[in-house]
Amino acid sequence: MSNQPVQAGGGLGDKVKVACAVASILAGIFGFYFLAGQSSLTRIGVLVAGLVVGACFAWFSSSGRDFVVFARESVRETKKVVWPARNDAIRLTGIVFGFVLLMAAFLWGADKVLEFVLYNIILGWKR
């Protein structure tokens, strides 16, 4: 990722844009549930409209643009990842599952031993 200097949040106008974006998204969600008696197409239209208006408000804020830059850099970095071959991934997944099963058996055994020691030997309760 690029080393960009960290800047403090935008001014009051930027905060108002973000607040309007959140309010628009919440209004779309509220409208979706408020119009429960209407057709599904109307309800989905209200929801999508709220999301689109919220996205537009967010796009014009500096934090929204910073998020888009971050997302693009993240995609670029993800493309640089060297993914393991299919056989390696299957082998490693099998090792993880085997270890999980081994740990589950160990913890179950430790629980049963402690249960026996506590209830039968220390407390004298026979189950």
- Show me where the domains of the chain are located: 12-79, 85-127
Say if CB 28 and CB 49 are below 8 A apart.
yes
Confidence of residue 72 (pLDDT cuts 50, 70, 90): very high
Separation CA 99–CA 93 (nearest Å): 10
Candidate ranges 15-29, 60-74, 99-113; pick with highest mean pLDDT: 99-113
Report CA-CA distances (Å) from 57 to 30, 34, 88, 92.
Answer: 18, 23, 45, 45
Mean of the pLDDT values across residues 8-37?
86
The predicted-structure confidence for 32-49, as pLDDT tens digits, reads as follows 999 988 899 999 999 999
| Mean pLDDT of the residues in the chain | 89
pTM value > 0.85: no
Say if CB 63 and CB 14 are below 8 A apart.
yes
